[in-house]
Amino acid sequence: MSAEIPAELARLRGSIDNVDAALLHILAERFKLTERVGELKARHDLPAADPARESRQVERLRRLAAEANLDPEFAEKFLAFIVAEVIRHHERIAEEHRDGR
């Protein structure tokens, strides 16, 4: 293989970089929304986690992943990672709310 990166590889990498940036922006927007959810939960003394909703979301995302030819196991692991972070944020918000911050 030559030392130069083929044009198609460079083009594909540029597209991947754009998708990565879009994913991060979408995740940031999602976390802004879940931050608001956490504030509402804290105000109404609701638990940080909602296992029933999480279960429905897992099934929904597994179905969407299968439709998109993406491994449903990967989609479930990805969601679990995000949900764990959201719950951590909700617990922090609840603690701050209890402390009067």
Using one digit for the tens of pLDDT, what is the confidence trace for 41-64?
999 999 999 999 999 999 999 999
CATH architecture of 7-98: Up-down Bundle (1.20)
d(CA 17, CA 83): 25
What ranges do the domains of the chain cover?
7-98
d(CA 81, CA 87): 10
pLDDT-based confidence at residue 5 (cuts at 50, 70, 90)? confident
d(CA 6, CA 23): 26
d(CA 87, CA 93): 10
**pLDDT the model gives residue 3:** 56
- Please state the pTM of the whole predicted model: 0.82
Q: Indicate if the pLDDT at residue 100 is higher than 90.
A: no
pLDDT-based confidence at residue 85 (cuts at 50, 70, 90)? very high
